[in-house]
Amino acid sequence: MADQELQPSSLHLLSAFLAMESTDSLIALARECSGGSVTERVQSFIWDDCITKYAGKLHAPYLRKFLKKLIAEVELNHGDVMDELYEHYAHYMTILKDNDLEKENTRVFKYISFLFPEGCQELSSCPESRKLMVQLQCSLNMLEGDTGCSVWPSSLLLSECILSFPELFCNKSCFEVGSGVGLVGICLTHVKASKVIMSDGDLSTLANMNRNLELNHLSVETDMSETTEDPYMVKCIHLPWESVSESELQNLKADIILGADVIYDPVCLPHLVRVLTLLLNQTKLYPEKCSDNHPSFALGSKCTDAKVNGTQEANAGNDNTLDDFLVKRTHKGAANVGLKRGPMALIASVIRNVDTFNKFLALLDEANLSIEDLTESLRPLNFLPYMQSYDRSTVRLFAISCK
């Protein structure tokens, strides 16, 4: 069955399955598909559209856990379990050992599906199918030595922002610090940023990122030097914050700098702020009415009928946007002549340690950089309604620029 023919509850279940959401989440979504219990019809959908269709593409221990939970759920409610589900579970019981379930340092494939709600067809980022699926090779271990290869909530929110406000990024050159699995950069290519430069300081993470770009059919350039302009080309470079030189950063000028969960390590903060300062300290003068090719940040089309996080309209009538923030930065001497605007950094982060965040603020102030909280004024649409592991309320969005 084609995805666009699926009922929302079935589409959410399939998307959660492909994103490797918790087995409890999958069972809850399976119940929603049939009004409270996992019926034979839902089991058939799970077998045909989830397990069989994506056979060999998902992590076997994860499938074993899910099948065990699914069978237990059906039996608990005195239902009949499909023979195919029993047989598949028995197969995994035979080929997998218990310690295979405990290996959390392995790389797996996840599919992050951005589901565009009703009313979003006018968004230039909305595919005809109203679904954008990104395949990612990533780590299950988010905390012990493989952080760069994990999918973090801030990268999900920043990706939703890019897809919600495509006119902010279309025809802009974008540079991402600490790109990790590459999800943000892949979304930037989808909204047709004129140049996307992705970077990371860890070589293993960088190799994994390159793999993800290939999985999503993107051509990659790895040369750090400035090259001839190639619209919609993706650059993927090794960029250790502590050792990159000023001259190297001069070749990486961008209109928008992005970062997701890059301010959690206090040891790295001075190096990060140095990199941001060099990238942002490129003041440019643009006419007040910028053409599409100029790096202005005026908001374009909005989804006026859809809901944001299920509660508010998508910035309809909201004047407190990134464009207003830029107006506050207008150079007084440029009045009636043009707007003196430099690059802007958008940083999404979960504030896990207040002292670390305060240190970041102090370093920005010392570097003569200003920071503005855009969490409420630039709220994205909810493209990941099925993802219960993703808590948007924990993520803050900041704009950083030269004072």
Pairing of strands 339-341, 284-286: antiparallel
pLDDT at position 322 is 54
The pLDDT, as a whole number, for residue 251 is 80
Select from 82, 103, 124 the last residue of a domain: 103
Range of the domain at 23: 3-103
**CA nearest to 212, candidates 144, 155, 131:** 155
Q: In terms of domains, do 120 and 66 share one?
A: no
Average pLDDT (272-292) is 68
Q: What CATH number is given to the structural domain containing 381? A: 3.40.50.150
Is the same domain home to 148 and 82?
A: no
**243 DSSP 8-state letter:** T
Assess whether 166 and 208 both reside in one domain: yes
Q: Are residues 157 and 37 in the same domain?
A: no
* pTM of model > 0.95: no
Q: How many domains does the chain have?
A: 2
State how far the alpha carbon of 109 is from the alpha carbons of 19, 73, 128, 385, in Å.
8, 26, 25, 20
For the CA atoms of 287, 322, 249, 261, what is the dihedral angle to 10 degrees?
-170
- At 183-228, the pLDDT tens digits run 999 999 999 999 999 999 999 999 999 999 999 999 888 665 555 4
**The amino acid at 351:** I
Boundary of a domain, candidates 103, 130, 145: 103
Q: Distance (Å, rounded) from C-alpha 398 to C-alpha 349?
A: 8
370 and 297 housed in the same domain: yes
236 and 140 belong to one structural domain: yes
Does residue 316 have a pLDDT over 50?
no
Task: Quickly tell me which residue has 């990122």 as its tokens.
Answer: 209
Residues 36 and 141 in one domain: no
Do the beta carbons of residue 135 and residue 208 sit within 8 Å?
A: no
Whether the CA torsion 352, 133, 41, 89 is positive or negative: it is: negative
156: helix, coil or strand? helix
Alpha carbons 121 and 123: distance in angstroms, whole number: 5
217 and 79 assigned to the same domain: no
The predicted pLDDT at position 340 comes to: 40
Residue where a domain terminates, one of 60, 84, 103: 103
273 & 296 share domain: yes
| 331-340 mean pLDDT | 35
The per-residue pLDDT for 38 is: 95
Calculate the average pLDDT of the chain: 83
Largest interatomic CA distance in the chain? 76
Q: Please report the pLDDT score of residue 174 as a whole number.
A: 96
Task: Mark whether 44 and 144 lie in a shared domain.
Answer: no
Q: How much of the chain, in percent, has pLDDT values that exceed 90?
A: 66
pLDDT digits (tens, 9 = 90+) for 146-182: 677 889 999 999 999 999 999 999 999 999 999 999 9
What pLDDT sits at residue 121? 86
Residues 76 and 113 in one domain: no
Residue pLDDT, tens place only, 134-146: 999 998 766 555 6
Q: Are 387 and 156 in contact (CB under 8 A)?
A: yes
Predicted pLDDT at 148: 75
pLDDT at res. 42: 97
Claim to verify: residue 116 and residue 99 sit in the same structural domain: no
Select from 179, 177, 176 the least CA-distant residue to 148: 179
